[in-house]
Amino acid sequence: MAINDDVPGLAVTVRCHERPLHELEDPNSHDDDAVACPTTSKYIECVDDTEFDLSIVVDSTYHWGYRNHILIASTYVDGKHIRGSVIRSRETDLGGLGIRQIKGQEVCNSSGLWSVRKFKFAPVKTIDDAQKERVESDLKVAKTLGTIEIKFMRAIEYGPGTSRHNHSAKSGTFELAEKSLKGKAVSHGTSYGVCEAIPTPSWVDARDIVEDNGPILVFKFMYRSRDALKRELIIPRSPSRSPTLENMTSAERDRLARERLNELRDRKVKRENRNPVIKREVGEVVDLTEDPPAPRPTKRSRLQDGREVDVVDLTDD
């Protein structure tokens, strides 16, 4: 559940099958100096063709004191306005909760019957289309694709009102020129799935408090596939597994054996080059790295005139 300490008491959750999606911190959330109001920015992981909804909660810790105002939570998906949800102070009296569930886009058919077309994560497909007009058009779409925003406005209620929005929802796939997504890890947009009948909605005549100069709080969710979250370094990349003989193919094992054999041969050649030999006689070699041979033993003999001389035994090996 996303909250913001600057405006306590307001919270938003994106859910699948009524279970909150895990929220991941936006590492760039503090880099935008142009933000005009407190903003909470999160990443969430999405799965192809999975339905989702939004849960908006206002509790009793929200400060209602200023001018007896109401809160309007305006929901935008992929830059498109979905609806504005009104929450009043009496809903949070005595510790109560003001809760709104936004399941999809409300539509009205030709018979005047209302239904809601449920939100669904739809994967983005890319095409190699370099036409300037197509790229420029898709750039506008890609700018807000993969983003959910809920903007809380303070307003003064004047009575019942009428809808001023065109209530329609187109379901389909997202096919964008590859060049329009350069530098963006956008993987999904929001499509619309199953229709569910609902009562006719009601509207109020409410006017924003001028001195607020816009929203008092914004919640922003960027939804991406797991691979896209890894590319943006929101979640760590999977470590590469160390190869083992069991998970190698026969070709990989043969290549590994050849590389090892070549390595052993290279070592043998280098070892032989470090130990040079010279030829002394036919069939005899001397290793110059060995210690020099010990000198032949000599004998001394006395001649008839009394002199002593050294005698070498030539019969020794």
Strand 39-45 and strand 217-224: pairing?
A: parallel
Beta strands in the chain (DSSP E): 10-16, 19-20, 23-25, 39-45, 51-58, 70-77, 80-87, 98-102, 104-108, 114-127, 147-161, 174-177, 188-197, 203-208, 217-224, 277-281, 284-287, 298-302, 308-312
Q: How far apart are CA 11 and CA 2, in angstroms?
A: 6
Amino acid at 11: A
Q: How far apart are CA 145 and CA 148, in angstroms?
A: 9
From 192, 195, 223, 235, select the one nearest 47 (Cα to Cα). Answer: 223
pLDDT in tens, the chain (317 residues): 899 999 999 999 999 999 999 999 999 887 665 678 999 999 999 999 999 999 999 999 999 988 899 999 999 999 999 999 999 999 999 899 999 999 999 999 889 999 999 999 999 998 887 788 888 888 998 999 999 999 999 999 999 998 766 666 666 678 888 888 887 889 999 999 889 999 999 999 999 999 999 999 999 999 999 999 999 999 987 665 656 666 666 666 777 787 788 888 877 777 777 665 555 555 555 555 555 555 555 556 666 666 665 655 555 55
Q: How far apart are CA 224 and CA 228, in angstroms?
A: 6
Handedness of CA 53, 54, 59, 65 (dihedral sign): negative
